[in-house]
Structure 1
Amino acid sequence: MANIQKILPANVPGEFFVDKTCIDCGTCAWLAPDTFADQNGMAYVFRQPSSEGERMRVHMSVLSCPVGAIGSRMRQGGPGAEAHLPEPIDQNVYYCGYHSAKSYGAASYLIRRPEGNILVDSPRFAKPLIKKIEDLGGIDLMFLTHKDDVADHEKFHRHFGCRRILHEADIGRETAHIEEVIRGDDVQSLSPDIRIIPVPGHTAGSCCLLWREAILFTGDHLSWDSGKKSLYASKHTCWHDWSRQIQSMKRLSGFSFEWVLPGHGARCHLPFDRMRVELAGLIDRMTTTF
């Protein structure tokens, strides 16, 4: 819970604030961009919400903050905020919220499908979220994009009995008992409308998941830069091999998608043609900075 005694001085006066426990994961800034921004490696409230819609986004940020760094001087929860998570995005895909500090605040997603739901990466194992996921049909498969964002995967596995899948290059002590292992760099199909695309670079075993040739779950491989209004890949947080990440980005040029849903960073929705142009531009920038 946020502490008013640790409030950051950058916050504007008003009900909501961010305290000094913020880890700058960026969650609140893209979830409620009309209220939160970043300054000197910390989030802060630059503008208090002025509508019920904006207040709801702030309360969703309170629930989703991995370290509980967002507080309210009124000391009351957001009525109805829990009902808005998971949040529908498009084509039976939901944003889970409830980020975990174990994954440095990475986003996770639920794909709802008759054949069995898929959880992409791990949110925090929070009771309100668990109940909502149960109401949506549970979890059949947990797809882990890479080793950084596995968080509470074991708790979800035990509760839902879901199978977990991760690339062999990213399996470690905490994931040694994964049920299904992705091997090699070939594209694999989970079903006619789901493909696994290995994209080594950020980590050796990073993978994207492509849903219905439209929605790409990218882990930490690819995201949207809200400030520059362009696709983004982080060289600073490339833990494995930047040259391989460039090649992996080029690989994505062979696929069609209109959504980028990342673990860290903002998501984006662009027309297919625009997405191709943006991806080509990113590859040029990555090559220039190599």
Structure 2
Amino acid sequence: MAHLNQRRPENISGDFYVDNSCIDCDTCRWMAPEVFASVGEQSAVYHQPANEEERLRSLQALLSCPTASIGTIENPKDIKEAQETFPILVDENVYHCGYHSEDVPGHTKGHTVLLYKNKYLFSGDHLAWSPEINQLIAFRSVCWYSWTAQLKSMKKLANYTFEWVLPGHGRRYRADTETVRQQMQNCIAWMERN
């Protein structure tokens, strides 16, 4: 959730704002380019929504923000209507689902993973299979934010059930849920030693 006391000074005055937790992922700028812009390596509101369509796209961007860095001063009474517009058709049978990720800081401050149907974990750069040591690992050499935070996030992630690990970089992994649960514990123990 965005915090008003962390509102970026680059925002134009008005209801919508971006706070300083923004990681400059560009989501809000492609979803509502008439409202959000890149200013100083983070997003900011450069134009408040002027009509219903701009407001809807701004609320969709708020809901889709992976770090929850977009907020409103007034409690948006139309947020439910915006939620109900998801998934948004992209093309043919491809949809933008919006806000279905889990915060797992470590690799980066705003890193997220996506767990689909408690089966498929899209792990980004948080977790992958290592054929060299025959187990799940995190990448300490490309941990750009905090190894301690990544370890804490890994412990949180170990409480979820999944069968597939589908990383952005590194090897995929698939096993039954009990084996994956054990692999997660092995990964945590490995991280604590490294």
Give distance in 2, aligned partners of 1:70 and 1:166: 28
Displacement over 3 Å in runs of 4+: 99-107, 139-144, 149-152
Name the CA distance, whole Å, in 2 between partners of 1:27 and 1:8. 17
Amino acid at match of 2:68: G
Give, as a single letter, the amino acid of the residue that structure 1 aligns with 2:94: V
Task: Give the secondary structure class of the aligned counterpart of 1:60.
Answer: helix
Alignment partner, residue 86 of structure 1: 87
Instruction: Kindly provide the amino acid, as one letter, of the partner of residue 29 in structure 1.
Output: R
| CA distance 1:53–1:40, shift in 2 (3 Å) | same
Aligned mates of 1:38, 1:20 — CA distance in 2 = 13
Paired positions, count: 142
Matched with 1:164 is 164
Residue 142 of structure 1, CA deviation? 3.9
Pairing 1:97–2:98 present = yes
Distance 1:100 1:143, change over 3 A: closer
SS in 2 for 1:94: strand
SS at match of 2:84: helix
CA distance in structure 2 between the partners assigned to 1:21 and 1:65 by the alignment? 11
Letter in 2 for 1:148: D
> What corresponds to 2:42 in structure 1?
42
Matched to 2:38, the amino acid is D
CA 1:140–1:40: 2 relative to 1, 3 Å: closer
Tell me the equivalent position of 2:62.
Answer: 62
How far 1:25 sits from its partner (Å)? 1.5
Query: Aligned partner of 1:178: which letter?
Result: R
Question: Quick one: which of 106, 114, 125 aligns to 1:148?
Answer: 125
Task: Compute the displacement of 1:101 (Å).
Answer: 4.0
SS at match of 2:28: helix
Partner Cα separation in structure 2 for residue 29 and residue 179 of structure 1: 38
The DSSP-based 3-state class of the residue aligned with 2:125 is helix
Partner of 2:174: 178
Whether the 8 Å CA contact 1:147–1:170 is kept in 2: the answer is no
1-structure distance, mates of 2:103, 2:27: 11
Letter matched to residue 80 of structure 1: E
Could you say if the C-alpha distance between residues 140 and 14 of structure 1 is closer, same or farther in structure 2, counting changes exceeding 3 Å? closer
Q: Residues 1-290 of structure 1 correspond to what in structure 2 (within 5 A)?
A: 1-76=1-76, 78-98=79-99, 99-102=101-104, 122-123=113-114, 139=117, 142=120, 144=122, 147-148=124-125, 158=161, 164=164, 166=166, 170-171=170-171, 178-179=174-175
What's the TM-score once normalised by structure 2's chain length?
0.59
Quote how far apart the aligned CAs of 1:100 are: 4.5
Structure 1 residues 140, 62: closer, same or farther in 2, change over 3 A? closer
1:11 touches 1:46 (CA, 8 Å); kept in 2?
yes
Contact kept? 1:62, 1:68, Cα under 8 Å: yes
Unaligned runs of 5+ in 1: 108-121, 131-138, 181-290
Report the more deviating stretch, 87-96 or 38-47.
87-96
Q: CA deviation at 1:147?
A: 4.3
Native 8 Å contact 1:26 1:43 kept in 2: yes
Normalising by structure 1, we get a TM-score of 0.41
SS of equivalent residue, structure 1 residue 80: helix
Distance verdict in 2 for CA 1:2–1:165, change over 3 Å: closer
Looking at structure 2, the residues matched to 84 and 62 of structure 1 have their Cα atoms a distance apart, in angstroms, of 13
User: How big is the alpha-carbon RMSD for the aligned residues of Structure 1 and Structure 2?
Assistant: 3.5
